[in-house]
Structure 1
């Protein structure tokens, strides 16, 4: 994953504006934010960007701290962005990786009198809670100008609270993708499906060829919430999705029954799942990818999850574009869903240096650096598609931008953590039980509603 498995869950759900299966959408043009070798500015220590790039102030002697959950290559790539900011401004920026419990960490730093300047949060609820705690500063005019230039209304709205803009969504993930072993498809004579009906027919074709169709990483319960949410959004539509996400309709609603019934069309077929239902709930997400792409004889032909699967594919020593290809999550209803996660930059200090960094993160200049490093998708619509290092990422980015504003954040991430985000409890556990017994749709609905009512307290 471009983030760790738990962090991957933080995402939003979009209903693609294009027809089902339209991964390769037309990309938007850039805004001339290419970064060239900067020149020294008259003895200040700051470096001036090229004439067509974002103008930043001289911040020589200023120090900033940025925190996020990213580690490893992901952190190294983000630090390239911070280094560019240092070169252009003369400021010094330190990066501190932290754990997933970001609000707990921030609370301890704030109570200790040492808040960071900028943090990148993983959940829309976390941003709202931080605003409620009065920890965050609204964006300044310079940052707002970059947001208005480079972001759609939808991306701005999800980083705002009660009409006030607080955040910049810097990183996103398209999580409505099904990756497949090209040799398994070729041997079976299978084609990329566009609808759920086609998907099930493809699974049957592959099964008859002697390969198990789908590898599921269901021991990580968030993958099962992703299956449900893709199906539900495509089938029930965004209005119903909003109602269920806010628990304004119950999990006993007929729309939930329909989605679980659709989900059971796959999970009720033991021969469609690597290891059967027991294997589906006993396999960790990374192993589910390995099952599909490692070695000459894959255990499964397909695996579902986001663009971060590319990292696991490489670890399995398979080659993107040849050994491994990808298609959009099949349309259950009229349109194919697009699921994405996001990391939103927020400011905890009201200083010139903090404002400048937030403005830089909202610009195309910074997004192009991250896009070129790989393992990154930007919600910045002004990033030229050639900035991405390969066709796979370009197509995924095109689909993300092309989805427009008809989006929804992941339902389980909007829910109280006790229901939507706790291993072995709530939705994760109930959907695991459902995979073990997909005939018990009414019982699953009743359990989901009981847990949701207790968590939402309504």
Structure 2
């Protein structure tokens, strides 16, 4: 899976995320993430030990009402939908597709894709067999699909659902030059650290609020006999997420926007500061499950399950990643809210970071059936189905908050909706895929090398800048 979904600062040249955000949206985003961070911090603290579902008492979302969405009959028609989702995430999305089949009579086939999905789609299109709809995990990929002439604009019905159910920022980020192409079906809060509650209790560790506190907590866990962190370094995107949270909090939102657009170089002192901060964790081999070599051989799903397997003696006490970690926790015996708890990514600078990601449904083969599916995915009907299954957040503001299965997820969903347009989109997802979204290349590879050798900060910066300059064309 890929993490996975926010507002883009426009890049001035081609080959990168388009200037899709309106001036109003950019002003809203530049207002900062502090408000969202505050809401999130209060929310997660408030739901500390509760893993129950049921009605949410905090508000947010719409009341559960009968569906008003009308879909056409599509008997005899078939669709292919491609996404990089695997495991439980894929299985849950197939249940959404099954509901679409039941309502319309269409036949929908899920096509497993690989990262980078643009390359996967390119080979499919070259072979004359593109999927009808693809879930693209980067704004840059949406723009590339438009530039290549693959993506088709959303029709009137899908646009009406977007207007009704999404904030302006979420509409803008799925648009290119003002034309809507993408429905952001899935969102992610990527500023969370999950922990084994029994490990913390045994160690006498507390939830940290600042980076300095996090280092103290890590040492406390280490002193209790448990390795502090599990890192899924085999998947380079997890490492870019670590960097982005540190950089956003430490350097601030304005520099974050400029680095995302490559308006400042990766050799900038602010990047050096962020890498130096990261090395305070990555540079301590005993803090990483399996050491650096072990982390580089650990894929994201395993980084989660090994944190919540083994009772109070797991391979690690904490794992960083987004709300979707819940899907993988569900593959263990741990229960979210009791055995598995979560706190916001600690503040490195003045404010805690709030980094988002997401996946947009884009039509590649225009048809009545493809447009109907995009309309369905833009509705609270579709998102509500997957919300109930857990491990999922929707930016759709009309999904009932009570649809989410536990108090932890209800609070995160409410924080996402309440945030409106005040957040930062995943930086690597804004970059050209050659830099920010390709296994074994660009930022993914440079940060994997840095995890292996955190002392080489200058060399890492030079490599990042060389790869970025080549990918951005400047």
TM-score (norm 2): 0.83
Residue 384 of structure 1 and its aligned partner are, at CA, apart by 1.3
Look up the SS of the partner of 1:202 in the other structure.
helix
Q: Over residues 315-341 of structure 1, what are the superposed CA-to-partner deviations in whole Å (9 max), with x where a residue is unaligned?
A: 343232222111111122233223333
2:35 is aligned to 17
Q: What CA distance in whole angstroms lies between the structure 2 residues aligned with 1:418 and 1:117?
A: 24
1:273 aligned to 2:305? Answer: no
Q: Over residues 212-271 of structure 1, what are the superposed CA-to-partner deviations in whole Å (9 max), with x where a residue is unaligned?
A: 222222233222211111111122222211211221101111211221122122223344
1:258 is aligned to 273
Q: Over residues 147-170 of structure 1, what are the superposed CA-to-partner deviations in whole Å (9 max), with x where a residue is unaligned?
A: 111111111111000111111011
1:394 is aligned to 410
Equivalenced residue count is 435
* Distance change (3 Å), C-alpha of 1:218 and 1:23: farther
Select the residue among 259, 263, 270 that pairs with 1:244: 259
Q: Is the 1:16–1:403 contact (alpha carbons within 8 Å) kept by the matching residues of 2?
A: no
Q: What CA distance in whole angstroms lies between the structure 2 residues aligned with 1:71 and 1:212?
A: 28
Q: Is the 1:212–1:301 contact (alpha carbons within 8 Å) kept by the matching residues of 2?
A: yes
1:186-225 equivalences in 2 (<5 Å): 186-225=201-240
Select the residue among 93, 97, 106 that pairs with 1:82: 97
Q: Is the 2:34–2:352 contact (alpha carbons within 8 Å) kept by the matching residues of 1?
A: yes
Ranges in structure 2 where 5+ consecutive residues have no aligned partner: 8-28, 45-57
Q: What CA distance in whole angstroms lies between the structure 1 residues aligned with 2:109 and 2:255?
A: 44
* Distance change (3 Å), C-alpha of 1:108 and 1:242: same
Q: Which shifted more, 323-332 or 114-123? A: 114-123
1:28 is aligned to 60
Q: Is the 2:211–2:348 contact (alpha carbons within 8 Å) kept by the matching residues of 1?
A: yes
1:364 aligned to 2:380? Answer: yes
Q: Which shifted more, 151-160 or 16-25? A: 16-25
Q: Which shifted more, 220-229 or 312-321? A: 312-321
Residue 129 of structure 1 and its aligned partner are, at CA, apart by 1.2
Q: What CA distance in whole angstroms lies between the structure 2 residues aligned with 1:67 and 1:299?
A: 34
Q: What CA distance in whole angstroms lies between the structure 2 residues aligned with 1:147 and 1:236?
A: 33
Q: What CA distance in whole angstroms lies between the structure 1 residues aligned with 2:125 and 2:439?
A: 28
* Distance change (3 Å), C-alpha of 1:81 and 1:276: closer
Shift >6 Å, 4+ stretches: none
Residue 293 of structure 1 and its aligned partner are, at CA, apart by 2.0
Q: What CA distance in whole angstroms lies between the structure 2 residues aligned with 1:216 and 1:95?
A: 30
Q: Is the 1:310–1:320 contact (alpha carbons within 8 Å) kept by the matching residues of 2?
A: yes
* Distance change (3 Å), C-alpha of 1:318 and 1:454: same
Q: What CA distance in whole angstroms lies between the structure 2 residues aligned with 1:59 and 1:338?
A: 41
Q: Is the 1:218–1:285 contact (alpha carbons within 8 Å) kept by the matching residues of 2?
A: yes
TM-score (norm 1): 0.86
Larger radius of gyration between Structure 1 and Structure 2: 1
Q: What CA distance in whole angstroms lies between the structure 2 residues aligned with 1:111 and 1:275?
A: 42
* Distance change (3 Å), C-alpha of 1:314 and 1:443: same
* Distance change (3 Å), C-alpha of 1:168 and 1:234: same
Q: Over residues 283-336 of structure 1, what are the superposed CA-to-partner deviations in whole Å (9 max), with x where a residue is unaligned?
A: 433333344222131232111112232233333432322221111111222332
1:321 is aligned to 337
1:305 is aligned to 321
Q: What CA distance in whole angstroms lies between the structure 2 residues aligned with 1:426 and 1:258?
A: 20
Look up the SS of the partner of 1:432 in the other structure.
helix
1:451 aligned to 2:470? Answer: no
Q: Is the 1:150–1:363 contact (alpha carbons within 8 Å) kept by the matching residues of 2?
A: yes
Look up the SS of the partner of 2:228 in the other structure.
strand
Q: What CA distance in whole angstroms lies between the structure 1 residues aligned with 2:185 and 2:283?
A: 39
Q: Over residues 53-80 of structure 1, what are the superposed CA-to-partner deviations in whole Å (9 max), with x where a residue is unaligned?
A: 2123344444433333334443333233
Q: What CA distance in whole angstroms lies between the structure 2 residues aligned with 1:450 and 1:29?
A: 45
Select the residue among 429, 454, 474 that pairs with 1:413: 429
Q: Is the 1:32–1:53 contact (alpha carbons within 8 Å) kept by the matching residues of 2?
A: no
Q: Which shifted more, 408-417 or 356-365? A: 408-417
RMSD: 2.7
Residue 368 of structure 1 and its aligned partner are, at CA, apart by 0.7
Look up the SS of the partner of 2:36 in the other structure.
coil
